[in-house]
Structure 1
Amino acid sequence: MTLKRRIIILFLVSSFVPFAGIIAISYVTIYSIVTNKLQSGMQSNLRQVELSLQNTITNLNHVSQQLVPQQLAFEGSAGQKLGQILSAEHPFERLKLTEELGNEISTITFTNPSIGLTMYVFKDDNSYRFENLAVKDGFTLDTLPLLVQYYGISYYGPHISNNRFDNQYVLSAVRKVPLPQREDVYVYIETGFKLTQAILDNDQFGGAVSHLFLDNDGKIVYSERGDAFPRGAPFPAGLSAEESGEAHGYVWFKERSNQGWSIVSLIPAADYRRELNRWFVQIALFAFVLLAVSLLLAWLLWRMVYKPLNKFNKEIKLMTQSRTLPQTPDETKSAATHIPEFDVLLHQFRQMKEQIWTLFSEIELKEKRRVDLEVEKLLYQINPHFLMNSLDTVHWLAVMNGQTEIDRLVLSLNKLLYYNLGKLGQTATIEEELDALRQYLTLQQIRYDFEFDVRIHVDERVLKAPVPRFILQPIVENSLYHGLDDNGYIEVNVRGDGDRIDITIGDNGSGMSKETIRELLEQQGGDQRKVGMGIGMSYVRRMLETQYGTQAELHIDSVIGQGTQVLLRLPIQEAEAI
């Protein structure tokens, strides 16, 4: 896992673990506060509705008492007149009592503004009389939703009024009228003036609350949510002592009256949790902001770490790509990270890099000195060998020939020794190198008892070009070594080609095998069995590597029986002192 990813994960964990704990504690606290607030509000509202309905039922009971015959009670005079009407035989008397009863009922309903339709019902023939308001067609007591029944009076839950000119929900009460003449007479009384609807609409949720009425058996006798709680069905919680719960997507609260009936308030679960959901949305927004801030801080921290790491990376790349100390002000300028700890490390790293560069320089210098010593060793191996051979030749010529030849030999020998024994590391020019080669060939022609042709072609533009000393003679010696005869020739071509010099040395000798060529190019030191050839070619190759590095090229092409051609390709530049 990368450092960047680790920093981001660390920031997220360090930010969200405490935040998650705060959310959990806040959720429990907010949920408790909101739930208690809603529950207490709903229970209080429901209790007020229940008390209002109980007062309404009590008022219905009180009015019904005035409409039934009571002994020694003035308020039962209307019921007594009804009995007299039913038992009266004279029409005039019956008419008079009927008028008095109507006035009595009007007085009772007028003094009770919460009372609506009032009348006497004769159940056997399903008829009614003495109604104070017009009655809808098809009226019958059997269709009313019974809420509770006790002490000879039945109370019916909310239902559409039987008043022809009123379609509001009302409560109603039916009391039996004890008369000796008939056993099927009842007093029917409704609430009026939208009283029931006003009571049910008294909620704090702006119409979101619905109501159910349950009878003594827990059966629904009135429902404002018939799709989820149909009338006549048992309420899911029944007659349990629970005061609240959730069913069919609604949160419900129940209040049981002293008479045994219950009223239930229903709130859609979404509305009930609206405030809690609002809190969740706020927490989600805050979490998003916290996430953004955490990612931003993690990114800033990463940038704070990445910048110094990038500088370290650049320093390391610079050190791997260059082995020399920086020379320009831009290279030596120290760029600060503005973080003290990283600046100290970066300064220490630069010091270490300078020490490493110094060690590189020392190692390169020591390696160069070692190569110079090896080249010098090779040169001193060549010079004694050549000197001994030449002196041996002088000896035999002095014995066999006259002094003229000896004079010529000694003159060429002196010139060649002077050139070859020059200071190690000094460069020569193409012109000097070719002159030394001619002296060498003169000695070799005298030494070998045969004539061979030497052809030298040089571009005059490169005569003064610097080249390493003593690089042509070992190659020509290689041609002589591989069997030139009287018909042999050695051809040397020197030409300039842009920024380089091409030197070609060819012969028509016996040639070399590929194995011999590979030994010449790969051997690391002189072979005592091939002193003239092996040591000389090794010297040329090592001198080119020391002087030019990889810029110089050495190629040998040879065919057995046809001859050999050696190509030296040198860059034109000032020779570097060793």
Structure 2
Amino acid sequence: MLKKIFLNHFLLILLPVIIIYYLIFSIYTHDKKTETLRFIKQVNIQSMENIDNYVKDMKVLTMHPLYDNDILELLYEKNFGDSALTTGSKGFDFNDRALLSVTLNEILAFNKNIYSVFIFNLNGTNEYRMVDSKLDPAYNPSQEDWFKEANELKGSAVVGNSFRFSNWNAPRGKDFYMFSVTRAIKEIKSGGSMGLISIDSDIDIIRNIIKKMKSFDEERILLLDDNGFIVYDTNETNITKSIGDKSFDLNEIHNLNLQASQSSMQVLNKKSLVDVEFSKETTWKLVSILPEAALFSKIKAIQTRLLTLIIIFVLLSLLLSIVTSYNITKPLKRLIKTMRVVENGDLTIRFTVMHKDEIGRLGHGFNNMINKIDQLVSIVYSTELRKKEAEMNALQSQINPHFMYNTLESIRMTAELNDDTVTAKMTLILGKLLRYSINPKDRLVTIGDEIEHLKNYIMLQNFRFKDKFELIIEMDQELIDIPIIKLIFQPIIENAIFHGLETMIGKGEIKITGYQAENKTIFLIEDNGIGMTAEQLEKLNDPDVTEIHSGDASRGIGLKNVNERIKLHYGEIYGIKITSEQGKGTTVSLELPDKFTMNIVQL
């Protein structure tokens, strides 16, 4: 028997734990992965938007000279004036540079990440402003691809890829990367280009945005253009390379479909999740590569700790099971031994009760049985049966309400321990209803207490009828604390449910409205039920009818009883009145004294 109990305990403990562990961890892992991927994608989208916003600001800055007539006239004269037509486009003299320097300084001061600003003539002659540096030797990019491309676009901004600028003297003291936004300055009449404005930004702005977006240390983030040029890489040795270069350390990305939003691939022999976000302002795309091992590292740590706790729990449970099984079987074996002695005819032996548990009660009952065997032989069965029934009735009549409350609370706690939340909640509500109804000490309560009791009652009915009923309270706040005799509203609500709302199709509504009017306190209880016939209504309102019931005795106090209690306690001029129309619901009007009178009326 000991082995059976131990085996049952073992299976009851271990199997549910394994199943629950598997289900919970599977769900947790899936939800955590989904949540993390959603977070990473949202961060990537936001980071791409931040980069786009910065590029957009640079594009706006390149339009600054287009609204300066002095600069436009200067560039026109240098490219299309009389002297330019005979001798060609000329460079800028001292006065020209003074004029251009105002705009250049304004743009340079706009953002700390702007490193240099250039305004070029068509022949490449330029005026510029640069942070902590100057050009050496003279810089003329008129034959470079980006210069030609910007001229050909005639006014559209060109966003260049990252580069190292080598044509300066006295740099910052370290290598750093830049990217530029260039725009052609158009001649208004012909639409032709008169020169260029180019703004160079330190790549540090992109570095900071990407640094903030990294959610994992192992995450690799690249900013690529549509030709595979690496604008930025968290491994900064790859900046300005192409993903097709042999020296690039992520050759697998070259074959990846970078048009897809999210995908999975092997990167450096690690299964990784790849997210791609596209720029709206440039040809760039932001590529995030996260090894799945990094994603699940924290989850695995939690899994290990949880598994350790489960093993400890199972071992402790098994130890407790062994001790419990032994404590159960030992007194049972003693009881069986005693029974065998009795079977042999020895009625003098008794079982020694050591504990007041189930085995103890069983042993005590066994002893009582032996004591009564001789009596049962001489007592007529029917007489003994009546005696037992009388004893049972006597015991039932002595049941204390507190015993009932405690029993309901025990049932509720057992239901909660078994995760039966519905039963636990129903038992809790039933206990509140019984405590409120049975307690003889609180015959005078507040209207707020009555309303709370009604809410519990409706909640319990909704468990039975699947949320069929809705209780609506519209009451002056000043009425909440007014004292009133107990159980005035519930019989009316009970009558509305069982005779008006239970059989109707659709949602049943009960509305209680309370207010002060003409030295009275009025409560209207309205329902949208099936109503009643004129004959039924006349019978309910007839004072000569001696028995007006809301149903059988189990359904509550009769309406007649409520009416008589009101008249007895507050006076004959108060009570209830009922109005109804078949198919349109019923209204019960409850008239009581004004709040001042009710505050001084005592039981």
TM-score by length of 1: 0.43
Structure number with higher relative contact order (C-alpha < 8 Å, ≥ 6 residues apart): 1
TM-score computed with the length of structure 2 as normaliser: 0.41
